[in-house]
């Protein structure tokens, strides 16, 4: 196959460091799949922060970003079963080592050698991407590729935070900060699926409308209202059992912590 187009980084900086270039078509090694990319997200941390040079661990240049590609299987390497050419797939970008104690015991979500597609190896800002077949999953024919990228980026994290870490129970109340972001919208849906009540918090009224449309029971604008006071009103003075905090704004932490039961 000829060279293919990719968005290549040779240095960190503003958006103009994203360079549209031709690169050799990647080839799938044993256990890997080559995917023709049809969609990829723009993630605040894994794309924008790395591109700007603000990610704590520098990437090796030249680099191709893109943590959550979805597309069509073009080819598979040796020792790959269950994936066929032409199959619609999405990639889970969290790559576990398969060798550490947690991986061996089947808890690869706790892998101590976790790597990320688009960070530690070239990602999906390209016509083609290679990924380990173990993180490539078939998707339904009627699921748009862009939706698949979104789902694979955020739902595993939302389930991990709310079910595995916080162990949210039916009837509990969950405060979701940054509720209109990708992860926030998934957290709302996971909490509702479990049977919890959801208070969606965000910094704009139109964002809260989006959060409500995804199932939030209550909304609060933390840029305009006293977050903890409003949460206490909504919970009859009790507070929430769980706060889902993915914003990282120190100005919001106190209100979030003070909302806890």
The piece of 33-41, 55-63, 113-121, 212-220 that touches Zn ion (CB under 5 A) is 113-121
Q: How far is the CB of 115 from Zn ion (least distance, A)?
A: 10
Q: How far is the CB of 108 from Zn ion (least distance, A)?
A: 6
Q: How far is the CB of 60 from Zn ion (least distance, A)?
A: 21
Of 27 and 113, CB closest to Zn ion:
113
- Report the site for Zn ion in 171-190 (rule: CB under 5 A): none
Of 48 and 100, CB closest to Zn ion:
100
Of 93 and 182, CB closest to Zn ion:
93
Site string for Zn ion, 83-112 (x = CB under 5 A): -------------xx--x--x-------x-
Of 106 and 250, CB closest to Zn ion:
106
Q: How far is the CB of 81 from Zn ion (least distance, A)?
A: 21
Of 49 and 157, CB closest to Zn ion:
157
Sequential DSSP letters for the chain:
---EEEEEESS-SSGGGEEEEEEPPP---TTEEEEEEEE----IIIIIIHHHT-SSSPPPSSB---S--EEEEEEE-TT--S--TT-EEEE--EE--S-SHHHHTT-GGG-TT-EEBTTTB--SSBSEEEEEGGGEEE--TTS-HHHHHHHHHHHHHHHIIIIIIS---TT-EEEETTTTSHHHHHHHHHHHHHT-EEEEEESSHHHHHHHHHTT-SEEEETTTS-HHHHHHHHTTT--BSEEE-----HHHHHHHHTTB-
Q: How far is the CB of 104 from Zn ion (least distance, A)?
A: 8
Q: How far is the CB of 41 from Zn ion (least distance, A)?
A: 24
Of 68 and 108, CB closest to Zn ion:
108
Q: Give Cβ neighbours of residue 195 (< 8 Å, ≥ 6 apart).
A: 169, 170, 171
Count of positions on this chain that bind Zn ion (CB under 5 A): 6
**Which residues bind to Zn ion, rule: CB under 5 A?**
96-97, 100, 103, 111, 113
């Amino acid at each position: 196959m000829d060279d293919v187009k990719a968005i290549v980084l040779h240095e960190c900086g503003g958006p103009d460091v994203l360079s549209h270039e031709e690169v050799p078509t990647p080839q799938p090694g044993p256990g890997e799949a080559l995917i023709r990319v049809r969609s990829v997200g723009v993630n605040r941390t894994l794309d924008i922060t790395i591109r700007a040079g603000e990610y704590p661990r520098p990437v090796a240049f030249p680099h191709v970003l893109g943590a959550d590609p979805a597309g069509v299987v073009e080819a598979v390497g040796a020792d790959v079963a269950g994936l066929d050419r032409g199959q619609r797939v999405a990639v889970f970008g969290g790559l576990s080592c398969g060798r550490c104690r947690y991986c061996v015991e089947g808890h690869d979500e706790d892998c101590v050698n976790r790597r990320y597609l688009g960070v530690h190896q070239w990602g999906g800002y390209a016509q083609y991407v290679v990924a380990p077949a173990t993180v490539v999953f078939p998707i339904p024919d009627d699921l748009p590729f862009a939706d698949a990228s979104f789902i694979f980026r955020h739902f595993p994290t939302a389930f991990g935070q709310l079910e595995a870490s916080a162990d949210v129970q039916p009837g509990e109340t969950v405060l979701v900060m940054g509720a209109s972001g990708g992860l926030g919208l998934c957290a709302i849906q996971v909490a509702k699926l479990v049977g919890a009540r959801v208070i969606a918090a965000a910094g704009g009224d139109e964002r809260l409308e989006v959060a409500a449309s995804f199932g939030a029971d209550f909304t609060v604008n933390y840029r305009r209202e006293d977050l903890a006071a409003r949460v206490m009103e909504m919970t009859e003075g009790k507070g929430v059992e769980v706060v889902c905090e993915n914003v990282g704004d120190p100005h919001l932490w106190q209100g979030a912590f003070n909302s806890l039961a």
